[in-house]
Structure 1
Amino acid sequence: MYRIIIGDDDTVFLEEAAAVVSECLTAEGLVQGVDFNIDCYSKAEPLMDALERGKEGWLLLLDVEFGDVNGLSVAASLREKELEFRLIYITSYRDYVFDSFDTQPLHYLLKPVNKEKLAGLIRDDLRRQYLDARIYLKAGSKHLSIAYSDIYAVEAAQHRIIFHLKNGVEEWSGTLRELAQTLPGWCFCRCHNSYIVNFSHVTELVRYQAKLDNDIIIPISKRFYKPAIEQYMEFLKN
């Protein structure tokens, strides 16, 4: 389920923001309560409790002046606990924009909020974190459903495609060209005639090699080296 928390001490704004989010996600074909959930909080303490009770993977829309609490402090405290959430600030105060960088927000929106801008940010996060979170393939009589995060690299070998995964390997009969058009370009890169690598698992990228967090070394060919470096730098920025 795709999950969103909205934190703002203005209850009227909470209702308006929840309506915008719901309308955006419904337009994508999702059903509230089945495909997505929206929780609204006018106080910081219950919001933090919700995130700390194991509900990780949220998109958090957070006011900077959150009642008598600073929203930056709330986000910093949650980051220190290493909870997994994405963050968008929504505020009337532009003065905090540079201070917000330490809490790694996706964006800093000023009120009155441009609804199309907010909807666009939500759609982008939705596709990255939920809609595009898996790849679905048919392998003979078997249908594969593989989470992108589980894929370390994809290798073409002896007319077969081998997915190097967290827990072993899977084989498929397609081509790297097909996969390169299917896998999301923000984290997967064609780095060799025989390899696609997932930047999410790259710990070090040096000349003609990518070292992954499972200690596998993936080759980068001369042909793909420059575009691979450029794509990796964009990945790090985001």
Structure 2
Amino acid sequence: MPRIAICDDNATDAAYVRALVERWAAARALETKVETFPSAERFLTRYEERQDFDVLLLDVEMGAMDGVELAKTIRRSSKTVQIVFITGYSDYIAEGYDVEALNYLMKPIGERKLSGVLDRAVVKLRHNARCLNLQCA
């Protein structure tokens, strides 16, 4: 069951992405847990309590802390969480490589594109889980 966080300061965009994620999960009969956060700071408060998210869908341009800084913070504690940037700005694409982001999607995102990225995220999560059990390099 992938646990997915959506972090976007635009409530309309966050609701749209959430609806796409829920349709993706329903189409695959996949049980998911989805939470939305209106700021990077609010997400970090929750994440510090329980580091239990598998996929992060992050807006780049937010308030005091942007999505890139949030991703860097998360990467310090987890190499396996799948990070996907969803933004209207292409200026930060190179920084996505610094945090080993799975993808960088431009707004407005299409359902098919997001579904493909989420499919890849699940494959990577399953691979990581198998490697933990088998001691993969």
Common fold: TM-score over 0.5: yes
Secondary structure, counterpart of 1:89 in structure 2: strand
**Distance change in 2, residues 1:148/1:78 (3 Å):** closer
Give me the identity figure in percent: 27
Which of 88, 94, 102 is the matching residue for 2:90?
94
Could you tell me which amino acid in structure 2 is paired with residue 11 of structure 1? A
Q: Deviations over 1:18-45 (max 9, x none)?
A: 0000000111012xxxx21000011111
Q: Which structure features the higher share of strand residues?
A: 1
Say whether the 8 Å CA contact 1:64–1:90 is kept in structure 2: yes
Give the equivalent residue in structure 2 for 1:73: 69
- TM-fit CA distance, 1:129: 2.0
- TM-fit CA distance, 1:5: 0.1
Give the equivalent residue in structure 1 for 2:29: 29
Relative contact order (alpha carbons < 8 A, sep ≥ 6): 1 or 2 greater?
Answer: 2
Provide the alpha-carbon RMSD of the alignment.
Answer: 2.0
Say whether the 8 Å CA contact 2:102–2:121 is kept in structure 1: no
Secondary structure, counterpart of 2:91 in structure 1: helix
- TM-fit CA distance, 1:2: 1.2
Gaps of 5+ in 1: 135-146, 153-200, 203-238
- 1:48 aligned onto 2:44: yes
Which of 109, 122, 134 is the matching residue for 2:105?
109
- TM-fit CA distance, 1:50: 2.1
Aligned residues: 137
Give the Cα–Cα distance (whole angstroms) in 2 for the partners of residues 13 and 148 of structure 1.
Answer: 35
**Distance change in 2, residues 1:80/1:128 (3 Å):** closer
Give the 4+ runs in structure 1 shifted more than 4 A. Answer: none
- TM-fit CA distance, 1:149: 2.9
Could you tell me which amino acid in structure 1 is paired with residue 96 of structure 2? S
- TM-fit CA distance, 1:75: 1.0
Give the equivalent residue in structure 2 for 1:17: 17
Structure with bigger gyration radius: 1
Q: Which structure features the higher share of helix residues?
A: 2
Gaps of 5+ in 2: none
Give the Cα–Cα distance (whole angstroms) in 2 for the partners of residues 5 and 83 of structure 1.
Answer: 16
- 1:151 aligned onto 2:131: no
